[in-house]
Chains A and B, each alone.
Chain A
Amino acid sequence: MSSVFFQAVAATIIASSIPLILAAIGELVAERSGMLNLGVEGMMLMGAVCGFIGAYFSGSTLIGALCGVAAGMAMAALYGLLTIGFAVNQVAAGLALTIFGQGLSGLVGAHFVGLKRDGAPHLHLPWLSDLPYIGHMLFGEDGFAYVAVGLVAGVAWFLRYSRAGLDLRAVGDNPASAHALGMPVGGIRLKAVLFGGACAGLSGAYLTLAYTPFWSPGLSAGRGWIALALVVFASWKPWRVVLGALLFGGATILQLQAQALGIRLPSQMLSALPYVVTILALILLNLRRNRGSLTPAALGLPFVADT
């Protein structure tokens, strides 16, 4: 098989892993603060539809992406209001957000189904993109890919070295202690949730602006849920999100390239592959879970100051 084929495969893997990286890195930050937001799918869908509409009217991919980010954050704010403001059970609130997002995105995007616009341009980095063999593979992506990698690096640095990152980890570990020391538990958690929403919105915008690139109802097809699984799979460590996302990207590629590779399976079985792979990945991870897991101790637990 030719190098062109491999380059195409690699490009597809990367393209299908970007939305997962974006959504998962945002959710990772929210979860490290103790907030389990199961509304990723709903936030992604809203980001996708608003991103598409923004870009459609402005003609600018950038403005579209910003619209997606804003939509994701608005949804996250709703979740924050429920869970932080009203101490609603996080699982239930996240499910509500997903259901709401599915309906609202369909409603908002009803007139835009089937409309097309050009996909986001691939950035050409001088010299790097021209490297033989790997140049096109690694440096021929659209802007979203670079943003995704940048976000992961930024989050990794933030959590490890910054004081705000330390505060965030403390809140996720023991909100009662954090409160006793005078830390604004609710405020820190809200910011983390909003960041998660922004990332999920951007991830959705990537789908409609670069990946497909058009809007159709429910087009995230469970990617929000896979992103949630990815955070667990990554043991809440930022760079492992990239690793996991590429693995899932690989499952997707198998689905698309199966015919070319001569695999004769029902298409539904191939479509089910990412979900089955997700379950298998979670099983494998738990089989070899070691003592060093970073599972936030207060994940999913509401905090109401009693004073």
Chain B
Amino acid sequence: MPPPLVSLDHITRRFGTLVANDDVSLAVQRGEIHALLGENGAGKSTLVKILYGLIQPDNGTISLDGTALRVGSPQQARAAGIGMVFQHFSLFDNLTVAENIALVLPATAGLKRLDQRISAIATRYGLPLDPQRPIWSLSAGERQRVEIVRALIQEPRVLVLDEPTSVLTPQEATTLFATLNRLKAEGKALIYISHKLEEVRGLCDRATILRAGRVVATCDPKAYSAHALGELMMGRDIGAVRPPSGAAVGAVRLRLNQLSLAAPDLHGVSLHDITLEVRDGEVLGVAGIAGNGQSELFAALSGESRTLADAIVIDGHAVGDQGINRRRALDAAFVPEERNGHAAVGAMSLADNLFLSRHALPGLLQHGVIDNNALRARTVEVIAGFDVRTTGPEAAARTLSGGNLQKFVVGRELARQPRLLIINQPTWGVDALAAAAIRQAIVELATRGAAVLVISQDLDELYEVSDHLCALAHGHLSAPRPAAELDRSAIGLLMGGANQFAAEAAHVG
């Protein structure tokens, strides 16, 4: 058997006391798509950053074609034939497509014929691009094409893709798989990171599973069920979320009447004529790919962006022109997507972070001065009630792991027993245990009679918690339909904007 095209052998890398990679080995053959699986924090990112030269390992070697080589920088990685498609795009919004691509080429490469080279790659792999458009004007799917073309233009032999489908509709993902299979047929070695285990089983030839920085298994993913792969990743069985008990659906708690909102800035998305209802005891799931107006919709719902008063009605009160605290006073609670810097302030204590969303409600101020004892007591309640692993209410928010901080910010809102919960990407970047706990809490809140609106990019999650589903595409929302009646391909089409015939026609034309 020939040596593998690329191999990482006995890689160890420590950050302080944390061992991010502990004696990790990984080998990929020509024409192989190799999955790298593991929970958040398992060490996948560190490993591929080492391969791409962004991090130096403390121990271990990298070999190409059986020859050890040192990868001291991304430039050296690219020169050796290693390409990378980042999960959070490493693109420059204000530069054009061609300029973004030129940045990874040697300085001596002529920029004049770059457009032709881009077109050549684009045609060969079915990735159409206009080289002269600025990045900010592109959709998430188009941006990913730029990332991939930028990696391919260097004719890499090894290509790393970090969660490439997290920003794609199911249909777009299928197109991407066709491109990846063509690369595989050309004899390239692909390392593929994903959380979507079904996808990995369909696409990948082999899988290496990391847990807490160590390799726990190397296997053929097709020989395992997704559930079994999940168990390998987590080291234990995660029980499924108990489905909604079908609680009696009550009165309309939240109503949106033709909510429209212009994009706040150049890079934002406008919302168009969004109409929906959420009733007590019901969970409405809003599907959609990142960048289709989710943040803007959340901002409008929370009051961080203002609309016409009548556009948003909570419990019979028109609040579209009111701030977030007026809405909280109507028993509404909000959990934004971003934990750090939006839902919580990393540098502040958990107690201060509780004050952040509760200060306008009664109980925490006495004669205008913060009642530290009451604040502490409320914080301890949340920590205990939601199993937040921390040293106490004085701990700075940034010392908590992602999952624990998310449990805290969700718990902070749920402990109030809200009648309406608006939550955006409830389990983004959270470990499976915490994610299951959060989803369970959402379902139970609805069972107790609250109305819940969940915005998420994760279809599995939405099917787990929702009674009704709809999709947000280019700022338009499809009509909600019962989750049981809507299969994945149907919702996928809606996520791609299939319900806006006019917009679609304009796009194609």
A and B touching (C-beta < 8 Å)? yes
- Residues of A with Cβ closer than 8 Å to B? 163-164, 166-167, 169-170, 173-174, 176-183, 291, 294, 296-297, 307
Residue among A170, A178, A179, A291 with most chain B CB within 10 A: A170
**Cross-chain contact of B266 among A164, A167, A178, A291 (Cβ < 8 A):** A291
11 extra A-B contacts, CB within 8 A, seeds A177-B89, A178-B103, A297-B93: A163-B102, A176-B90, A177-B90, A177-B91, A178-B92, A180-B54, A181-B103, A182-B74, A182-B75, A183-B103, A307-B54
Complex alpha-carbon distance, A296 and B91, angstroms? 14
In the complex formed, the residue of A with least CB distance to B94 is A173
Interface of B is mostly: loop
Q: Does B92 contact A307, Cβ atoms closer than 8 Å?
A: no
With A182-B54, A182-B73, A307-B49 known to touch, is A173 a contact of B92 (CB < 8 Å)?
A: yes
B461 at the interface (CB under 8 A from A): no
Complex alpha-carbon distance, A297 and B55, angstroms? 26
Which residues from chain B contact A183 at a C-beta distance below 8 Å? Answer: 103
Which residues from chain A contact B73 at a C-beta distance below 8 Å? Answer: 182
- How many Å from the CB of B152 to the closest CB on chain A? 15
Complex alpha-carbon distance, A174 and B90, angstroms? 8
Could you list some 20 contacts between A and B, CB below 8 A? A163-B111, A166-B99, A166-B103, A169-B94, A169-B95, A170-B92, A170-B99, A170-B103, A173-B92, A174-B91, A174-B93, A177-B89, A177-B91, A180-B86, A181-B103, A182-B73, A182-B75, A182-B77, A296-B94, A297-B94
- How many Å from the CB of A201 to the closest CB on chain B? 29
Q: How many contacts between A and B, using CB within 8 angstroms? A: 57
Q: Does A294 contact B103, Cβ atoms closer than 8 Å?
A: no
Which residues from chain B contact A174 at a C-beta distance below 8 Å? Answer: 90-93
In the complex formed, the residue of B with least CB distance to A161 is B111
Which residues from chain A contact B104 at a C-beta distance below 8 Å? Answer: 181
Complex alpha-carbon distance, A182 and B95, angstroms? 18
Q: Does B55 contact A177, Cβ atoms closer than 8 Å?
A: no
**Cross-chain contact of B93 among A173, A179, A182 (Cβ < 8 A):** A173
Complex interface bits, B299-341 against A, C-beta within 8 A gives 1, otherwise 0: 0000000000000000000000000000000000000000000
Q: Does A173 contact B95, Cβ atoms closer than 8 Å?
A: yes
Complex alpha-carbon distance, A47 and B103, angstroms? 35
Complex alpha-carbon distance, A294 and B266, angstroms? 12
Complex alpha-carbon distance, A176 and B95, angstroms? 15
**Cross-chain contact of A180 among B78, B90, B102, B266 (Cβ < 8 A):** B90
5 closest cross-chain pairs (CB), A and B = A182-B74, A177-B90, A180-B90, A173-B92, A163-B107
Complex alpha-carbon distance, A164 and B237, angstroms? 53
Complex alpha-carbon distance, A291 and B55, angstroms? 38
Q: Which of B466-487 contact A (CB under 8 A)?
A: none
Which residues from chain B contact A166 at a C-beta distance below 8 Å? Answer: 95, 99, 102-103
Which residues from chain A contact B111 at a C-beta distance below 8 Å? Answer: 163
With A163-B107, A166-B102, A307-B54 known to touch, is A180 a contact of B92 (CB < 8 Å)?
A: no
Q: Does B55 contact A307, Cβ atoms closer than 8 Å?
A: yes
Q: Does B102 contact A177, Cβ atoms closer than 8 Å?
A: no
B53 at the interface (CB under 8 A from A): yes
In the complex formed, the residue of A with least CB distance to B104 is A181
- How many Å from the CB of B302 to the closest CB on chain A? 25
- How many Å from the CB of A161 to the closest CB on chain B? 8
Which residues from chain A contact B78 at a C-beta distance below 8 Å? Answer: 182
Which residues from chain B contact A296 at a C-beta distance below 8 Å? Answer: 94
Which residues from chain A contact B90 at a C-beta distance below 8 Å? Answer: 174, 176-177, 180-181
With A166-B102, A307-B55 known to touch, is A180 a contact of B74 (CB < 8 Å)?
A: yes
Complex alpha-carbon distance, A178 and B93, angstroms? 12
Q: Does B92 contact A177, Cβ atoms closer than 8 Å?
A: yes
Residue among B53, B89, B103, B104 with most chain A CB within 10 A: B103
Q: Which of B85-117 contact A (CB under 8 A)?
A: 86, 89-95, 99, 102-104, 107, 111
